[in-house]
Structure 1
């Protein structure tokens, strides 16, 4: 822990490890305030980010048990004002509405990160109405059930679902839920003086960024201590019961940790329960598990439980973490606990005694894989062309000078085990597979599979789209204020590269596919993939509406 904190300049960290009966270890490291050198201890409170989504899911399932909510009913049953237009992209038509189950499993198709105004100095309950108003004029990214695509926005709507189903304010219902776990003063909100006194500062590098309240609480705003999270972890290990108090019935909890997406080919190795993620290749050898991680403006957290061994851990850091410190320490703690409690150790990695041989392929065969692929969450464009019996692999990236560069990643060669690699010892191997009418570049690494790209063919751009090439700057007041707080004014750049319309956004390169002169969408199958772009004229100027932001061309 101390080594990883030093390497990544983490100011403070907390950890709790439990078994089914007790908290085994709970401790803080480093400081919660670099100005006062106040130490982190097991009662210091950190923001747990999207780990909060599992609490929100459990509250939904409580209401399900009480007969106040049916997760297979349309979302609009519990949010009558919810509206969302169908996807604008080339996706199959699905003749069914979005359900609460779709939200809990991240299969809703609700655009994933509509966060303009989601952070504030004080909680703004009206933000949810603002979000619903935006959605009414936006489009789904995918049809419901189409594929796993993580959506902060969708889970944010559970605040209104819980309120309307329970007949109580979310703040009241959620606080009673946390109190029933013995977690007071843990809360989704920042109005308790005891919580505020114990809450750690948040850092990006050495900069204290202050306290921001998340205006979409059900998606990720709980603050809790290591000791408080120990109560939650023990409840998970005991299938919904804590010290004799039934939070949810065992059969309800077991339903939450059943794989919901086993028949979805596009989800590859992802196994999703109701609010809980059920696959982790790094710990798959330890048997069934559940986990979730979380990130706010600076805090990063990781929670995981090994169900066959009744061991669970939660780790959180109070400093912007680019190196997965929380996740790595959580895994290391679970491995150590398994060795102590069960005498189990990670199996030795099998090394094949068969030497891989490269295979030179004819040009006609390689043409089957040639083309441009729109990236997934990486926001990159892969370009493959036949070359010397393999595939020359270029990747479009934003260079250090801010220009789009075409960087060669090597030559993908077919090897005797059926996978393409740049070399026999490469960390990642690729296959090409058609799923649901899409030709995909799929990466295999560490026991997981990820869609690296969805092949597309660029089409000629209309005069209207050609005229939009250039810089578009946000004119939406809440986002500009947030940008000034962190030293940047949000903007996007539309560029044409080799005939492909590309959007530069926060270091990502996103392929734009026009469907008319006014509407387009983002190619690819990630969190942003499928998101709609809409252009409209206002006050004699053209505006771009995209992901809850409004931009104007070269705005001052």
Structure 2
């Protein structure tokens, strides 16, 4: 039986489901492919390129693939290694003499950063630069300006201290490839990766991609088209490509660097990409620009992607010669059942069943029954603290009245060699030896994809020193509030600051966190995970390098928009919910109620 015959019944079912999801669900357009090492088995496109239904999606329609781009960056870098232009353990400073970044870990800490650190997210860099990246800017910027803005940032940790997902780190790799190859990064990638695979739809940067006729326009919720400022974040998330060509990259991966019988990237170099490079990364399961989905059997490799208005599922199962890719021009599927990316995950189990194989994964209860050498803990209060992990999540474990709480709210119940959460997920604290008195990390095992086994390392925030400047009366009065910000230069998001008993707190996507002042620089604070918060003393608050401008009277502005511009982005229901929640957090309950009233009338 050939693979087409083997997989045909499964593919027919999923083709019908994908068509139904697009026609009757909230996704304007989607593409999907299934491949083996021998070539494509199936590829299809459904729906429309935009909400105006100006054109149909096909398998050559270009979509942005977000962080799936990072796999392309790793391939492009290793192709330069293959040509003898650079090496994994070369230092960044050797190729970019002007490279600098602020650091609390020594003035020359950045000189230790190698390409292996960058591609493994272990360079101690922040997630985003001051220009570009996820947050972008309202003003146009170049790729070079975005990367060079790292000089205004701060390192979040010493080099190789821990995994910390960094978009700017991947962009630095692409930036330096321009120096060592003598070509622009897009041209290098097209020449060395695209041309040998016969790829014609590859574009890098929205400026180049959006000039094409057959390009999908991203939507936030499938009902609201995104507006795009020019982006050129080549290394971290700005590859645009059609499904037929994306499938060719999957075929290359299944052949470990070969395509159509020819070597594009040597097998040994390719295998460097798909393995963890640091012992401490057990549980992070990341190679060089690629996820290694830990806890699954058989093993799965790949990299998902999400960007403004687009989402990408991209993985391969090497032991059974299966590759799957899904693209959509919708990013957020919160609460939606008709999610094409769920189909992309479900189909792997059905394809494996044709081989009489079940996809299994470590379950929370099994994890807690594993034998581990650990000290007897007579004081569980020592387990409390901050733990940082994938994807830059910071978990706060607190101790109250003899009990531990996860994220300061869910009780951790002792069981076997760890703890159980109310959700059924398990947590185990890890120690370097039986003599240790405090853990160096915590491992979390979830019952559902995508989290299988996840390590989070203990982080000790740098507490304020005696010389650290406290909040003065002016800062205490001026700082609290909502700060209007954007990501990708267009879409609304918000920074939030509040002061409680002289302590400054800011809102992050993981909750409200305390921040700690720099010992000498006024208006500079650090989150527990190491990212920065800066205040200009007037109306700008930067949180994790995202610039926000203070929003003094949101209710009046929103009411005006209802009358003058009812289609404005700030009047999306999910945005209004966020605004109301932030106002309530600040104790501005009357304004929060008014915003909810506006939301309910839309």
Give the TM-score taking structure 2 as reference length.
0.73
Give 1:518's aligned residue. 521
Q: What secondary structure is seen at the aligned counterpart in 1 of 2:424?
A: coil
**Aligned residue number for residue 414 of structure 1:** 414
Give distance in 2, aligned partners of 1:191 and 1:503. 34
Structure 2 CA distance for aligned equivalents of residues 381 and 351 of structure 1: 20
- Give the match for residue 310 of structure 1: 321
Q: Cα gap change, 1:180/1:373 in structure 2, threshold over 3 Å: closer, same or farther?
A: same
1:203 aligned residue: 219
Alpha-carbon distance in structure 1 between the residues aligned to 2:209 and 2:23? 32
Aligned partner of 1:443 in structure 2 is 444
**In the aligned structure 1, how far is the partner of 2:364 from the partner of 2:85?**
54
Please report how far the alpha carbon of residue 507 of structure 1 lies from its aligned counterpart in structure 2 after TM superposition. 6.8
* Partner of residue 297, structure 1: 308
Name the residue aligned to 1:271: 285
Matched length: 507
1:316 match: secondary structure: strand
Q: 2:359 aligns with which of 328, 340, 346?
A: 346
The alpha carbon displacement at 1:165 in A equals 0.7
Residue in 1 aligned with 2:592? none
Match of 2:102 among 70, 85, 99: 85
Aligned match of 2:297: 285
The answer to whether 1:502 aligns with 2:505 is: yes
Aligned to 2:199: 183
SS of the residue corresponding to residue 320 of structure 2 reads: coil
Give the superposition deviation at 1:552.
Answer: 7.3
Specify which structure has the higher proportion of strand. Answer: 1
Query: Cα–Cα, structure 1 residues 394 and 172, in superposed 2: closer, same or farther, change >3 Å?
Result: closer
SS in 2 for 1:41: coil
Kindly state the Cα deviation for residue 350 of structure 1 after the two structures are TM-superposed. 8.1
Residue 428, structure 1, aligned to residue 441, structure 2? no
Decide whether aligned partners of structure 1 residues 111 and 17 sit closer, same or farther in structure 2, where only a CA change above 3 A counts. same
Paired position in structure 2 for 1:162: 177
Give, in angstroms, the shift of residue 418 of structure 1: 2.3
Q: Would the aligned equivalents of 2:532 and 2:545 in 1 still touch at CA under 8 Å?
A: no
**1:486: which partner in 2?**
491
Q: Write out aligned runs for 1:313-462 (5 A).
A: 313-323=324-334, 325=339, 327-340=341-354, 342-347=355-360, 365-369=379-383, 371=384, 373=386, 377-378=392-393, 381-387=396-402, 390-391=403-404, 395=408, 408-409=409-410, 411-415=411-415, 417-422=416-421, 426-434=423-431, 440=441, 442-446=443-447, 447-451=452-456, 454=459
- Distance in 2 separating the partners of 1:161 and 1:178: 19
Q: 2:127–2:164: 8 Å Cα contact kept in structure 1?
A: yes
Q: Do the aligned partners of residues 60 and 351 (structure 1) sit closer, same or farther apart at CA in structure 2, a change above 3 Å counting?
A: closer
Distance 1:457 1:56 in 2: 34
| Counterpart in the other structure of 2:112 | 97
User: What SS does the corresponding residue of 2:470 show, helix, strand or coil?
Assistant: helix
Find the aligned partners of 1:276 and 1:182 in 2 and give their Cα distance: 23
C-alpha displacement of 1:116? 3.7
Partner residue in 1 for 2:570 = none
2:241 equivalent to 1:227:
no
- The separation in 2 between residues aligned to 1:393 and 1:50, in whole angstroms, is 29
Partner residue of 2:151 out of 136, 148, 153:
136
Deviation at 1:247, TM superposition (A): 1.7
SS in 2 for 1:493: strand
1: CA distance, partners of 2:361 / 2:488: 48
Q: Output the CA distance in 1 between the equivalents of 2:45 and 2:504.
A: 49
CA RMSD of aligned residues (A): 3.9
Q: 2:551, 2:226 → 1: CA distance?
A: 29
Determine the C-alpha separation between the residues in 2 that align with 1:10 and 1:464: 50
Greater shift, 144-153 or 513-522, is seen at 513-522
Tell me the SS of whatever aligns to 2:117: helix
Could you tell me which runs of 5 or more consecutive residues in structure 1 were left unpaired when the two chains were aligned: 357-361, 396-407
Are positions 1:107 and 2:122 aligned together?
yes
